[in-house]
Amino acid sequence: MPTEDTQELLLPRSRMANERLHAMIPGGAHTYAKGDDQYPENLAPVISHGRGAHVWDVDGNRYIEYGSGLRSVSLGHAHPRVVEAVRRELDRGSNFVRPSIVEVEAAERFLATVPTAEMVKFAKNGSDATTAAVRLARAATGRPRVAICADHPFFSTDDWFIGTTPMSAGIPAATNELTVAFPYGDLAATEELLTRYQDEVACLILEPATQSEPPPGYLAGLRELADRHGCVLIFDEMITGFRWSEAGAQGLFGVVPDLSTFGKALGNGFAVSALAGRRELMELGGLRHSGDRVFLLSTTHGAETHSLAAAMAVQTTYVEEGITARLHALGERLAAGVRDAAAGMGVGDHIVVRGRASNLVFATLDENRQPSQEYRTLFLRRLLAGGVLAPSFVVSSALSDADIDRTVDVVAQACAVYRKALDAADPTLWLAGRPVKPVFRRLA
């Protein structure tokens, strides 16, 4: 484990590896949320390997890991059932000039798991799936505008969404103008938006649930609004898929969208995503209709057999082993422990755990109870020093009760330092470098 003294957690090999990463890869990582700017200065471990809920960095330190693979590894690293399913395909080829039988089996398994959908098409990442959903909606309605939920942080790497963020460089203003926003939980505001852009909005796209549960009747109200205004309702289930229920939030709350997108937990770290929905819409991207063809999803590696095998194993494991219930139980134990530790150290109003038990995040608030990157940096430094790698508190089913208890002990130690910083009204005394930075910002 890393030493308890943050000053002795030097990570020399990780620092050298980060320099090599920046020399060859813009941003030093293939996902901005994994960048070393998201971690305290000189304390961004570069991972060597992982097993279960633990990872090891290139310096030999072991960490209890949360939010694994940006929430994608919900069963833990190198899960035996997933690894075995992939291994069975390794000697059978990965990609062919025609569809493999694995594609049939994977589609059947997915549609049995998510019975609210009638057709499915697989891809490699969430952005491709959400953009395909938007394209289908525009084709089906003949309308140009996309309405996104303003309270949800990410939908796609493509222009229709990134143009709405501070990182909009390179995206024409004309593209940005076609995306409008509505607030989560406010049906009246959404109806006002649809009325203002009458017959122009192709779709409403949102995460059906996030840190808070949808208000009573909200999702059903959106369904009614979409029907009345003739637009397509799209649920982005990248995170809610499997973590809320095997069939996602739509399966839990009983509201059926026209289209939905899945990813993250679907492959337990293997690259696979899915666009699913009503046959009438999905078939517009197919061959069995007489209308204009929609270029839906056509990717060389979308049906690569190893990832589809992984996805089938993940779905089987969730259903047979009750993984969603386990994630909730682990999250509830962790949330209770962190809240008790924070309260015991007098920082219960400053380190705040939020979200569904299977998808916990934390907020770090300053002396005025405002979000603070400086206090987040302080907190992360102490977690790392205690052997906890936690940009969030999103659990995997591989965590043990001992892992949770150890995490709570480390959080308590971090809270003691947090209290000292609050009393001094100066967290910079404990930062030892620049604060961590927001992912979405205009300047590097």
Task: Label residue 26 exposed, middle or buried (CB < 10 Å: 0-12, 13-18, 19+).
Answer: exposed
Per-residue pLDDT averaged across 174-181, rounded? 96
Q: Is pLDDT of 6 > 50?
A: no
Q: 327 or 288: which carries more pLDDT confidence? A: 327
Please state, in angstroms and rounded to a whole number, the distance separating the CA atoms of residues 130 and 158: 9
Q: What is the pLDDT of residue 443?
A: 84
CB 176 within 8 A of CB 163: yes
∠ CA 250-256-261, rounded to 5°: 65
Confidence check: pLDDT of 180 > 80:
yes
The pLDDT value given to residue 1? 39
**What phi and psi, each to the nearest 5 degrees, are found at residue 126?**
-65, -35
Burial zone of 425 (CB within 10 Å; 0-12 exposed, 13-18 middle, 19+ buried):
exposed
Residue 5 clears pLDDT 70, i.e. is over it = no
80 CB-contact burial (10 Å; exposed 0-12 / middle 13-18 / buried 19+): exposed
Closest CA to 260 of 275, 280, 245: 275
Q: Two tokens at 64? A: 């209890």
Classify residue 25 by burial, with Cβ atoms within 10 Å: 0-12, 13-18, 19+. exposed
Q: How far apart are CA 55 and CA 388, in angstroms?
A: 10
Mean pLDDT for the stretch of residues 92-97: 96
Handedness of CA 184, 125, 297, 239 (dihedral sign): negative
Residues written for the chain: 444
The model's pTM = 0.95
Report the alpha-carbon distance of residue 395 to residue 27 in Å, rounded.
27
What would the pLDDT profile of 257-266 be if each residue is shown by its tens digit?
999 999 999 9
Looking at the chain, the whole-number percentage of residues with pLDDT higher than 70 is 98
What rounded mean pLDDT belongs to the chain?
95
Residue 216, pLDDT > 50, answer: yes
The predicted pLDDT at position 271 comes to 97
* Cα 429 to chain centroid, rounded: 33
Nearest 5°: the CA angle 265, 268, 272 is 75
pLDDT at 237 over 80: yes
φ, ψ of residue 274 in degrees (nearest 5): -145, 140
Q: Tell me what pLDDT residue 2 has.
A: 38
Helix (H) or strand (E) holding 56: strand 54-57
Per-residue pLDDT reduced to its tens digit, 19-34: 999 999 999 999 999 9
Lowest-confidence pick of 361-375, 399-413, 424-438? 424-438
Segment 293-323, tens digit of pLDDT = 899 999 999 999 999 999 999 999 999 999 9
Compute the distance between CA of residue 99 and CA of residue 305 in angstroms, rounded to an integer.
10
pLDDT at 58 over 90: yes
Read off the pLDDT band of 8 (50, 70, 90).
low
| pLDDT over 80 at 4, yes or no | no
Residue 94 has pLDDT above 90, yes or no: yes
Closest CA to 206 of 176, 186, 192: 186
- What is the predicted pLDDT for the residue at 440? 86
Write a three-state SS string for 363-405.
EEECCCCCECHHHHHHHHHHHHHCCEECCCECCCCCCCHHHHH
The pLDDT tens digits of the residues spanning 119-153 come to 999 999 999 999 999 999 999 999 999 999 999 99
Residue 329 has pLDDT above 80, yes or no: yes
Residues 6+ apart with CB under 8 A from 173: none
Backbone angles phi, psi at 77, to 5 degrees: -70, 145
